Amino acid sequence: MLSKERIKEAETNVKSYLSEGLIKKESVNADVLRVFLRNAEESIASGEKLSSEGTSDLWVIVCSYYSMFYIANAVLRKLGYKVGEKIGHKVTADALIVYVRGKLKESLLEEYEETKNEALALAGMKADSLIESFDFEKNKRGSIQYGTDDFEKESKAKTSLQRAKTFFQEMKKFLIEIDGRTR
């Protein structure tokens, strides 16, 4: 669950990012969205292939994270925000919390309409969990890439790939929903 401190930090950071031009309002570009989606799908496919072959747990984690990164940026672009190149991973993580978290929660609520009271708590936890999984994978990718033993990498790689698949599926559904609302 995202902590109140993490949410507040993201809100503060995004205000700074906007003033510094690290994230900008920009109209939706269908070609850019297609590239982000293709990169996300390719990253998951690469992670699955590496995992099934037992080739490299490190690169399963890296591919899993990047699939999340690309689909997150597709969602942000669809909402009208372009993340710049400077500290793009941190900006993306914070922007997900500020711009996507609430909308994702509403979207998930619609899926659980029949049990609305229970769904409110569940959707909030699921939305937080999905957004938080991006932060986990961003941090894990950094630490794994620069120093973890092989036994630990294998276990973490499987978790990363599963998180990436779930994140990708939910963000893709959310993109389709956003598209339906804008028509």
pLDDT at residue 135, rounded to an integer: 82
Q: 36-45, 70-79, 88-97, 120-129: which range is least confident on average?
A: 120-129
In this prediction the pTM is: 0.76
Mean pLDDT of the chain: 86
- pLDDT for 75: 94
**Spacing of C-alpha 178 from chain mean position:** 16
* Residue 134: closest CA among 174, 164, 178, 99: 164
Mean pLDDT of 70-81: 95
Does residue 5 surpass a pLDDT of 90? yes
The pLDDT score that the predictor gives to residue 153 is 73
Whether the per-residue pLDDT at 111 is higher than 70: the answer is no
Q: What confidence category does residue 112 fall into, taking pLDDT thresholds of 50, 70 and 90?
A: low
Give the Cα separation of 144 and 71 in Å (integer). 22
- Which two structure tokens, joined as six digits, stand for 43? 């990253």
The tokens for 50 are 């590496």
**DSSP class of 2:** -
Confidence of residue 49 (pLDDT cuts 50, 70, 90): very high
**Span 154-159, mean pLDDT?**
82
Question: At 180, is the pLDDT very low, low, confident or very high (cuts 50, 70, 90)?
Answer: confident
pLDDT at 89: 94
d(CA 11, CA 9): 5
Which string of b and e fits 70-85 if b means at least 16 CB within 10 Å?
bbbbbbbbbbebbbee
Can you tell me the distance from the alpha carbon of 40 to that of 12, in angstroms, rounded to the nearest whole number? 28
Give the pLDDT score at 82. Answer: 96
Query: Looking at the predicted structure, is the pLDDT value of residue 148 above 70?
Result: no
Q: Are 133 and 167 in contact (CB under 8 A)?
A: yes
